[in-house]
Structure 1
Amino acid sequence: MWFPHYRLNKSMTYFARYLPILDWGRRYDRSAFSNDMIAAVIVTIMLIPQSLAYALLAGLPPEAGIYASIAPIVLYAIFGTSKALAVGPVAVVSLLTASAIGQVAETGTAGYAVAALTLAGLSGAFLVLLGVLRLGFLANFLSHPVIAGFITASGILIATSQLKHILGISAHGHTLPEMLGSIGAHLDQINLVTVVIGLSATGFLFWVRGSLKPLLKRLGMGPLMTDLLAKAGPVAAVASTTMAVWIFDLHGVGVKIVGDVPQSLPPFTIPGLSPDLIKTLLVPAILISVIGFVESISVAQTLAAKKRQRIDPDQELIGLGAANLGAAFTGGFPVTGGFSRSVVNFDAGSETPAAGIFTAIGLTVAALALTPLVYYLPNATLAATIIVAVLSLVDFSILRKTWGYARADFIAVAATIALTLIMGVEVGVASGVGISILLHLYKTSRPHVAEVGLVSGTQHFRNVKRHAVETNPNILTLRVDESLYFVNARFLEDLVHSRVTAGCDIKDVVLMFSAVNEVDFSALESLEAINLRLIDMGVGLHLSEVKGPVMDRLKKSHLIGDINGKVFLSQYDAWVSLTR
């Protein structure tokens, strides 16, 4: 009688792998519901002005930000594995969106909105494909220093792009020189009332972020209410400036406002299927997917580690892909897991992805009931919200840290920052990927190979340059500290040749493979070339401490049979055998 029950559990386990909601949903209880609801209220309050602001940054109508925060959140809750990640529009992805679709359509046109839907659809499809093929590891090719450099440069570009709204002028540009040049050329258009609103909102938001919470704590307010009021700072800025514009009719003196926002649920939309449009947006969609995934997975893993929870990177790809596909069919634009709102979600006590579903419900209510209230919302306030949010991303300390630790990483960071600022975000992303790969290839092309000797009184071998060790002039032992493949195979070949020259005393060369996890075919050919050269010189070639999988592969070749020496289980065995 247990067999049907067993099969049911096995089926549930299989489906739960791809639908994590089946896993955490079975254990959902009243306590989790209460905590998730509280977190959802706080995140919703924070997300309303953020969504409007990031839509503005992407060059889309403000309602697109709300739409992009409803269906994607629900879909991620179904397919994602993080219990705290809050999905929706984020600053860097919104900037990338504006840069990509600005090349194919004019801002404010129907073609621009369709391009945004198509970009989200392509990004979603690419992420799902990577997840199904379990290729999440590809994101590891973007090094953290390069990502930090790109995000720092993007933060500067985003903040600069919003200065036109703070000043009330018309300006354009996708690179820092273009933006600054355009702003300088339009300074005669400055609207002083807009400047007052923008600077006041910016100063207030900075004060809220840095000083409000400590002040409320000193006043004896509880932690929950303190968090709620601190996160409601942007809402207060939105409400006060909107009231000011309405009461004093500031729109009539040139203050630009949001205007009409449709009072409706997210519409059903269809991305553009034009081959030319898809071809144009395919590469930007891939870049957005990679950057969004790296940002999202780093946040998710950081928060999960605090509660000893596990994140499945491949399933995260599917979750984020589903979220972007949801945005594509509900009037949104590309989304990913946001750092600030995810931290807020975590700190507010979110226990399951259901908090995201409750947040989506709150945003749906806002879309139906609150949108008329933002008619007089000044663009300067939304710009202030963006500036305060993105300046926290700017971290020039990464330059100092990499300069002191590894100059190659410093060059990669500096180049990424410079290229992003001077040539734009797409070039910055592409160069960041390229620099990361080149940096990896450069480092592995020159593997660390140490000449080692015996530590007296032990069976351990250490680098002759770092330790006082015993050596034998007739034996050269090289410890290879890297897997051998086509990029670095010739390096080892040249190194052995340079050490074993005509007339030297070396009779045996031992390659210590304790750190070698892989030997590809190019490296095998180099080992065979080393062996043939040493045979001609009358020198023996030996291997020691070869790992099982590597030995299994080598046994399939002619090397082991042709080698001019032996394969030793340990380096000490080689030492004892060859010094007799």
Structure 2
Amino acid sequence: MSGWLRWLPGVQIARQYQAAWLAHDLMAGLVLTTMLVPVGIAYAVASGVPGINGLYATIVPLLVYALFGPSRILVLGPDSSLAAVILAVVLPLSAGDPARAVAVASLMAIVSGLVCILIGIARMGFVTELLSKPIRYGYMNGIALTVLISQLPKLLGFSVESAGPLRNVVRIVRAIVEGRANWVAFFVGIGTLAMILLLKRWKRIPGLLIAVVAATIVVGWFGLAESAGIKVLGPLPQGLPSFALPWIGVADLGQVLIGGCAVAMVAFADTSVLSRTYAAKTRAVVDPNQEMIGLGAANLAAGLFQGFAISSSSSRTPVAEAAGAKTQLAGVVGALAVALLLLLAPNLLEYLPSSALAAVVIAAAIGLFEFDDLRRILRIQPWEFWLSMACFVGVAVLGVIPGIGIAIAIAIMEFLWDGWRPHYAVMGRVDGIRGYHDIKRYPAARRIPGLVLFRWDAPLFFANAELFHQRLLEAVAHSPTQVRRIIVAAEPVTSIDVTSADMLAELERSLRESGIELRFAEIKDPVKEKMERFSLLERFGTPYPTIGAAVDAYLEEYKVDWKP
């Protein structure tokens, strides 16, 4: 693909479309519709906006992603992992006004879309790789718990003012004790949840649709909305989403910007993982930067057409795959089917109970929890497990937005720590093993008289330059013989900056004044080029190609009687 068409993978797929795929995509799209409607409405309510906007956020993004998205079968739309993030911003800023809630949520989607597009154009799709698996588990477990807690009042037929996950639990318990729970609504909701979870094991059976339809029929047939006071969805507005530019005022813009960036991070983290997974299954290559552009375009369109932020779906995508989807045409069919529903039968879901919608979201939240792999991480790397727990507690105690901020901060600290305090070694020769090895791990290793072999297992940069200086001088001080030369085994060193270069120049000068040479071996060419620019090689001389060559040169120059 060349020119501007490289930004439109959907056009390329359309050009290669095979007639044999059409029946599969049509069937997959119709099957997908059975999930798109109840899930879209449920996640809209969970995000603090009217249910109809969940369908708007389903129709438009699917059509846009079909054009800009690189993945053949990925399904985008409202998602449970984003619901808590959106709700955390929408709830305090909307003050119960549905129109303002839609404006806030739509503006967040626009911010998220622009962030994703800019990062994709800048070819920075790798950014989500900075979040390690334990950290992702931590914040996703925290989000799952937050979503679950936020839906408990709806499941029980009452509402509480949100004040954070843990305080919400206290308020829920208090409301139950005060007798505010609607137990008929609860049994409808818990029955819906049980049916969803029970039928989940059979992937080809639309369990979610069956459960939601059953709950709607029961409430409508027995008149439970009137007789038992069960809250229902009510008739949906007839018609399709229209273009609207949301605005909420400058005062609240800061929170929307932060929330939009948080949504962008969570959405792309989920989407990139799911996209890579299905690309591997279909043996396709997916450009992560184009994936971010596709996701960004879908979010931008959602925000401009009365929707809210969306992501990939780990529940709807497998449905599309199992139904035989071959291309994004399946998503287009699903979007058009939802649009027809709004035009021709907007009252079809009038008696859909709120507690059943809560059950749909709770079922999705349960699927977000990760325990098995965390147990494995605890067994093999305990400190990463506790990092995950710190992220989890941050989200669960402080809320989603601060919790994700903590997750990002911990990820950066984890990234920097390995470079800030890296492994290093003084090396010697171990009988029976080729090469030179860490004398701490091999205490019997033989050291070369007058020579210190020092290995540094990290880039040299401003944060660890002083530590390198200290550890090298400690190696000299603890040498069993008077040191004549130091060889730095620099093969693990992948970069060097100005701060560390100046440190090396000063270190070389002070060592030379003490009668000690500082030399390097196994320097990578890019690092060597940087050292030339920093005028360091003229101080250290030509680097040795290998540690063995450096040792042989030392033994020859100083006539040291030592056998490797």
The one-letter amino acid of 2:537's match is I
| 1:317 to 1:28, Cα distance in 2 relative to 1, 3 A | same
- Cα distance in 1 for partners of 2:199, 2:310 equals 26
Of 323, 329, 346, the match for 1:371: 346
Question: What SS is found at the alignment partner of 1:509?
Answer: strand
Mean Cα deviation higher: 96-105 or 421-430: 96-105
Mean Cα deviation higher: 464-473 or 567-576: 464-473
How far did 1:342 drift? Answer: 1.7
Deviations 1:175-201 (A, max 9, x none): 222211111121111112112111111
> For residue 562 of structure 2, what is the aligned residue in structure 1?
none
> For residue 195 of structure 1, what is the aligned residue in structure 2?
186
Gaps in structure 1 of 5+ consecutive residues: 1-11, 214-226
How many equivalent residue pairs?
551
Of 33, 38, 46, the match for 1:44: 33
Question: What SS is found at the alignment partner of 1:567?
Answer: coil
How far did 1:308 drift? Answer: 2.1
Question: What SS is found at the alignment partner of 1:391?
Answer: helix
- Cα distance in 2 for partners of 1:173, 1:145 equals 28
Of 24, 42, 49, the match for 1:35: 24
Question: What SS is found at the alignment partner of 1:374?
Answer: coil
Identity between Structure 1 and Structure 2 (%) = 28
> For residue 506 of structure 1, what is the aligned residue in structure 2?
483
TM-score (norm: length of structure 1):
0.91
Whether the aligned pair in 2 keeps the contact of 1:292 and 1:336 (CA below 8 Å) is yes
> For residue 235 of structure 2, what is the aligned residue in structure 1?
260
> For residue 4 of structure 1, what is the aligned residue in structure 2?
none
- Cα distance in 2 for partners of 1:17, 1:453 equals 54
Question: What SS is found at the alignment partner of 1:104?
Answer: helix
Whether the aligned pair in 1 keeps the contact of 2:83 and 2:147 (CA below 8 Å) is no
How far did 1:562 drift? Answer: 1.9
How far did 1:51 drift? Answer: 0.6
1:571 paired to 2:547: yes
- Cα distance in 2 for partners of 1:148, 1:33 equals 38
Deviations 1:48-96 (A, max 9, x none): 1111110110111111111101111111111111112111000121221
Whether the aligned pair in 1 keeps the contact of 2:521 and 2:543 (CA below 8 Å) is yes
Whether the aligned pair in 2 keeps the contact of 1:87 and 1:335 (CA below 8 Å) is yes
Whether the aligned pair in 1 keeps the contact of 2:112 and 2:299 (CA below 8 Å) is yes
| 1:176 to 1:280, Cα distance in 2 relative to 1, 3 A | closer
| 1:174 to 1:139, Cα distance in 2 relative to 1, 3 A | farther
> For residue 521 of structure 1, what is the aligned residue in structure 2?
498
Whether the aligned pair in 1 keeps the contact of 2:274 and 2:312 (CA below 8 Å) is yes
> For residue 90 of structure 2, what is the aligned residue in structure 1?
101
How far did 1:524 drift? Answer: 1.1
> For residue 316 of structure 1, what is the aligned residue in structure 2?
291
| 1:351 to 1:529, Cα distance in 2 relative to 1, 3 A | farther
| 1:329 to 1:263, Cα distance in 2 relative to 1, 3 A | same
| 1:438 to 1:502, Cα distance in 2 relative to 1, 3 A | closer
Of 104, 109, 113, the match for 2:102: 113
Deviations 1:139-167 (A, max 9, x none): 22222211111111111111111111121
Whether the aligned pair in 2 keeps the contact of 1:59 and 1:108 (CA below 8 Å) is no
Whether the aligned pair in 1 keeps the contact of 2:50 and 2:98 (CA below 8 Å) is no
Within 5 Å, which residues of 2 pair with 1:397-546?
397-454=372-429, 460-466=435-441, 469-501=445-477, 504-546=481-523
Mean Cα deviation higher: 500-509 or 380-389: 500-509
1:328 paired to 2:303: yes
The one-letter amino acid of 1:574's match is A
1:209 paired to 2:209: no
Deviations 1:114-152 (A, max 9, x none): 111111111111111111222222222222211111111
| 1:569 to 1:475, Cα distance in 2 relative to 1, 3 A | same
- Cα distance in 1 for partners of 2:335, 2:537 equals 63
How far did 1:455 drift? Answer: 5.4
- Cα distance in 2 for partners of 1:338, 1:171 equals 28
Of 200, 206, 210, the match for 1:236: 210
Deviations 1:525-546 (A, max 9, x none): 2222321221122111110011
Whether the aligned pair in 1 keeps the contact of 2:82 and 2:267 (CA below 8 Å) is yes
Of 383, 391, 405, the match for 2:366: 391
Mean Cα deviation higher: 468-477 or 279-288: 468-477
- Cα distance in 2 for partners of 1:177, 1:90 equals 22
The one-letter amino acid of 1:36's match is D
Question: What SS is found at the alignment partner of 2:200?
Answer: helix
Question: What SS is found at the alignment partner of 1:421?
Answer: helix
Question: What SS is found at the alignment partner of 1:360?
Answer: helix
Whether the aligned pair in 2 keeps the contact of 1:118 and 1:278 (CA below 8 Å) is no
- Cα distance in 2 for partners of 1:375, 1:171 equals 24
The one-letter amino acid of 2:484's match is K
Whether the aligned pair in 1 keeps the contact of 2:100 and 2:248 (CA below 8 Å) is no
Deviations 1:361-386 (A, max 9, x none): 12212222343111111101111111
> For residue 345 of structure 1, what is the aligned residue in structure 2?
320
Question: What SS is found at the alignment partner of 1:543?
Answer: strand
Within 5 Å, which residues of 2 pair with 1:31-110?
31-110=20-99
| 1:469 to 1:350, Cα distance in 2 relative to 1, 3 A | farther
The one-letter amino acid of 1:302's match is T
How far did 1:566 drift? Answer: 4.9
TM-score (norm: length of structure 2):
0.94
Mean Cα deviation higher: 476-485 or 398-407: 398-407
- Cα distance in 2 for partners of 1:379, 1:176 equals 20
Mean Cα deviation higher: 389-398 or 310-319: 389-398
Whether the aligned pair in 1 keeps the contact of 2:240 and 2:343 (CA below 8 Å) is yes
- Cα distance in 2 for partners of 1:67, 1:309 equals 30
Whether the aligned pair in 2 keeps the contact of 1:399 and 1:414 (CA below 8 Å) is no
Question: What SS is found at the alignment partner of 1:439?
Answer: helix
The one-letter amino acid of 1:473's match is P
Question: What SS is found at the alignment partner of 1:519?
Answer: coil
1:135 paired to 2:124: yes
- Cα distance in 2 for partners of 1:25, 1:204 equals 39
Gaps in structure 2 of 5+ consecutive residues: 557-564
- Cα distance in 1 for partners of 2:502, 2:123 equals 32
Whether the aligned pair in 2 keeps the contact of 1:128 and 1:318 (CA below 8 Å) is yes
- Cα distance in 1 for partners of 2:164, 2:451 equals 59
The one-letter amino acid of 2:483's match is I
Mean Cα deviation higher: 472-481 or 418-427: 472-481
